[in-house]
Structure 1
């Protein structure tokens, strides 16, 4: 009775209605089937886990192969991908079972793989004869493969490739095996599709990061306190140090980012450069700001060009006015000069009259020279470079503005040696620099309450770094420039003068002209004591 109950219980648990003789053999078969099922589930689980980022398709295939081999007789597994209406071999395991090279493209005609794709059905093919009908048969013959199972890989109703499983045994896969391989191929299709999608994300991320790093402007990502979370290569290069974790507001003396609630724009000076800053707040789904993108562009050269255009426009206007004035004054001046010369030649006048006539002639000549210098200085034709002495440029400018300085009780002292080397350039452009520096010196003297207002104009030659330079120094005893503002004086539109009195373009334009002449401008200044500007140009040595 007990034995019958045991057999009944075993039958209910295992599904095996056995006699005493066959019980153990049937149980053994059942256990093997259960083991096989467990291993199949393990393989499916392996593929599912392979969807993670770290594992490559080659690794996934090798893991699948080794596990399947334990319960199904297979000797080769391969993957061919379908893209842009082309089918090419992408992965094979084991490596020594490669016949066609990776990347080999299969033709539609006479291809087992293509038959599976076009029919969307799995193909079980056996090599029982020596005749070759399909392209793949040659490969399988050479590898000793006799049975091939080919399953199309479908994801989102679209074919993405075929999975090929080969065995050196001429066997028939059971229905259970075919069902397992179908499930396996479905999981592999999902895995491949996810790998592709992830690769697109990676490529997009990489492209964005490379673009982020390659942009020549400065880009920062900060938190709401201004702490730098990320920056591009240009930003690191600009500060020449590791700046992640530092506060951008402290580095650049920027406004408090915490009060910025929308796109923000600002221009600021830093290290003798002018920058444009744009801040873009980043919000979460609740529209709360948690970060900022800071984009900073060096606009120094842009502003210099704008300044030069503005200055050129002003000079062009002066040139037109000067031309009109010259036309209107030349006719009466010609009469004044001609008549005074005639009266002087007659010589019948007394001594007092002759002196008056001489004064009339000298003053008329001076007026003519002033008009001619004004026309020459403001001429906006294409500048040509030629050799000239810098002292000539000084004299031309002083002829124009010298009397104005005398009326303001400003003394101009000159120390202009005659044996200076020439420089190569345009005398009108260098004259523009000298005029700007003299006007700045005049303004500085007017701001200081002192009895003796002096401007010293001195030229000399120096040798620096085995190169000879012609130096023109313009020194005043005016109000000077505060030390913290010295680095900004050459920035476009920067001025210490009252509104309406200065545009902030003079020194910027002057520096641009000097640099075009392969020279530069230096400055020394002490607040409330005076300033010295030095124009340095390469000497033209014979």
Structure 2
């Protein structure tokens, strides 16, 4: 039996009002939860869409959230690439009827119709063949498909599709939310695509930048290093003397040369030649401009041209030697005829004159001087032959003897005592005898010049050979003026000389250094000011291919 209170509540509608209130409250809470989920989905798309996340993972995350508010079973993304509509994302991915990368045919296509009409489609799947997609929808068991165009700057870049296995009545608010979701996916996918393009270009540029063997680096307007390619980084990383880094030494040289300052001031490419660590570099500075045509950095490009400089010097020296050789050959041939007469006639007279006769010694002197002249001419002809520098087996001792036969007499005439200490057990070496003779002449001439500049009473040159540790060694030592220690690294550089302008060109030692290196050997210097210099040439018995 109903008590009075309950009967009064029913009569005045209190119970009914409570039920309506709770029903509306539940609906409001449900709508708020729905809105929260929608915001979460939009927020997740914004946060989670990055270059490392695949489309499938993104669609999976979105679908799991969407299922809380809509009975959606399948999501897919399509993008327009070079005029083709291509499937770029699917979830779930288990279907054998749809595959990633597949291109949608344009004829009788529902998807293409959405692209052309540029508006969303809420499509209820039918059994007709009106669209080519119907057959696939049927195989997947889909009843309803929502398709939204993806817009970027008013341009359709693709489609976002949501499919269900049952028919759903979507409100306008639902459609608006799904369109917002599609717009956010469009922006995110386009940003990811642009980022990939930038990343690809960046990687390609960095690979190209690093593949260059020459040194390339970017500096700011204050000379601070911003970026460098691998070759430059390796160069900077190597240790240097005096506690300084190579980078520090290089930037000091750049500052001295005012390379970057001039580049910024003139707004043009500037070049210099720098010498660093026994090497020559062609250095170029290129200004880098911003959108407002202002310079904000400078690209510095360094190319090692040491070998090029050495080749140029050798070519110059070879040209000079060739000219001298032609002249010497002509003079030698002209002298050979009168020398033949002198030698022949002196021999005839020597046979007719008795050895006790005073004139005999005069004739003997004429004959010996003629023989010496003939040997000098023969050595000059041998040295001047510049046809081909062919490598072959030869004796270093023979090369020394040939050179001494050419200039030994001159040295003795200048009151220079020659001491020759040749190792008779010296093995043959592979190389070009004429080039090695040229090196020996250069060393002897330098030793002579150093002795003539000194005030020593006894001027001495010691030439010695020996075999040690797989190398044959030639040493030319003098007791002349010596070379300051700070110049030891510079004397092998092209055009560097300590002699007066009229005495030297600065090419002799540079050419000699290049010749010895081409033979797989090395040339070393020991010198002290006031005591003299010693040059040692080391040539391998077995020459390595270079």
Q: TM-score, normalised by structure 2?
A: 0.81
Deviation, 1:261, is 2.0
Relative distance call for 1:261 and 1:34 in structure 2 (3 A) is: same
Relative distance call for 1:250 and 1:469 in structure 2 (3 A) is: closer
Partner in structure 2 of residue 8 of structure 1: none
Relative distance call for 1:135 and 1:452 in structure 2 (3 A) is: farther
- The aligned runs of 1:27-42 (5 Å cut-off) are 36=34, 40=38
Match of 2:211 among 211, 214, 235: 214
Partner in structure 1 of residue 248 of structure 2: 249
Q: Give the Cα–Cα distance (whole angstroms) in 1 for the partners of residues 53 and 325 of structure 2.
A: 75
Partner of 1:488, secondary structure, is coil
Deviation, 1:461, is 1.4
Q: Deviations over 1:335-381 (max 9, x none)?
A: 33333344444558983434333333332333233223222212221
Q: Deviations over 1:453-473 (max 9, x none)?
A: 1110011111x2xxx322111
Deviation, 1:298, is 2.2
Relative distance call for 1:265 and 1:499 in structure 2 (3 A) is: farther
Deviation, 1:475, is 0.7
Q: Give the Cα–Cα distance (whole angstroms) in 1 for the partners of residues 542 and 90 of structure 2.
A: 75
Is 1:351 the equivalent of 2:348?
no
Deviation, 1:537, is 1.9
- Which runs of 5 or more residues in structure 1 are unaligned? 1-18
Match of 1:196 among 193, 196, 207: 193
Match of 2:534 among 532, 535, 539: 532
Relative distance call for 1:149 and 1:283 in structure 2 (3 A) is: closer
1:153, 1:159 within 8 Å by CA — same for their partners in 2? yes
Partner of 1:478, secondary structure, is coil
Partner in structure 2 of residue 397 of structure 1: 403
1:300, 1:492 within 8 Å by CA — same for their partners in 2? no
Match of 1:461 among 440, 447, 467: 467
Partner of 1:308, secondary structure, is helix
Q: Give the Cα–Cα distance (whole angstroms) in 1 for the partners of residues 362 and 235 of structure 2.
A: 68
Match of 1:85 among 64, 68, 83: 83
Q: Give the Cα–Cα distance (whole angstroms) in 1 for the partners of residues 389 and 256 of structure 2.
A: 47
Deviation, 1:240, is 4.2
- The aligned runs of 1:65-84 (5 Å cut-off) are 65-84=63-82
Q: Give the Cα–Cα distance (whole angstroms) in 2 for the partners of residues 383 and 404 of structure 1.
A: 27
Is 1:364 the equivalent of 2:374?
no
Relative distance call for 1:510 and 1:134 in structure 2 (3 A) is: farther
Deviation, 1:106, is 3.4
2:236, 2:246 within 8 Å by CA — same for their partners in 1? no
Partner of 1:496, secondary structure, is coil
2:51, 2:196 within 8 Å by CA — same for their partners in 1? no
Relative distance call for 1:69 and 1:208 in structure 2 (3 A) is: same
2:236, 2:247 within 8 Å by CA — same for their partners in 1? no
Deviation, 1:434, is 0.7
1:76, 1:97 within 8 Å by CA — same for their partners in 2? no
Q: Give the Cα–Cα distance (whole angstroms) in 1 for the partners of residues 226 and 121 of structure 2.
A: 55
Deviation, 1:167, is 1.0
Q: Deviations over 1:19-68 (max 9, x none)?
A: 99978767766775666566546645554566777766445434433333
Partner in structure 2 of residue 152 of structure 1: 149
Is 1:267 the equivalent of 2:264?
no
Partner in structure 2 of residue 14 of structure 1: none
Q: How many residues align?
A: 517
Q: Deviations over 1:47-104 (max 9, x none)?
A: 4566777766445434433333332221111112221233332212344467533223
- The aligned runs of 1:19-418 (5 Å cut-off) are 36=34, 40=38, 43-44=41-42, 46-47=44-45, 57-96=55-94, 99-109=97-107, 111-129=109-127, 136-137=133-134, 139-156=136-153, 158-223=155-220, 226-240=223-237, 248-250=247-249, 253-256=252-255, 260-263=260-263, 264-280=270-286, 292-347=298-353, 351-418=357-424
Relative distance call for 1:226 and 1:155 in structure 2 (3 A) is: closer
1:274, 1:299 within 8 Å by CA — same for their partners in 2? yes
Q: Give the Cα–Cα distance (whole angstroms) in 2 for the partners of residues 241 and 419 of structure 1.
A: 43
1:228, 1:248 within 8 Å by CA — same for their partners in 2? no
Q: Give the Cα–Cα distance (whole angstroms) in 1 for the partners of residues 465 and 79 of structure 2.
A: 80
Partner in structure 1 of residue 478 of structure 2: 476
Partner in structure 2 of residue 445 of structure 1: 451
1:58, 1:91 within 8 Å by CA — same for their partners in 2? yes
Relative distance call for 1:347 and 1:159 in structure 2 (3 A) is: farther
- Which runs of 5 or more residues in structure 2 are unaligned? 1-16, 264-269
Partner in structure 1 of residue 11 of structure 2: none
Match of 1:516 among 518, 522, 529: 518
Q: Deviations over 1:150-193 (max 9, x none)?
A: 33334345443222211111235444444443343333323322
Deviation, 1:110, is 5.6
Partner in structure 2 of residue 492 of structure 1: 494
Partner in structure 1 of residue 4 of structure 2: none
Q: Give the Cα–Cα distance (whole angstroms) in 1 for the partners of residues 427 and 245 of structure 2.
A: 52
1:153, 1:161 within 8 Å by CA — same for their partners in 2? yes
Partner in structure 2 of residue 505 of structure 1: 507
The higher relative CO (CA closer than 8 Å, separation ≥ 6) is in 1
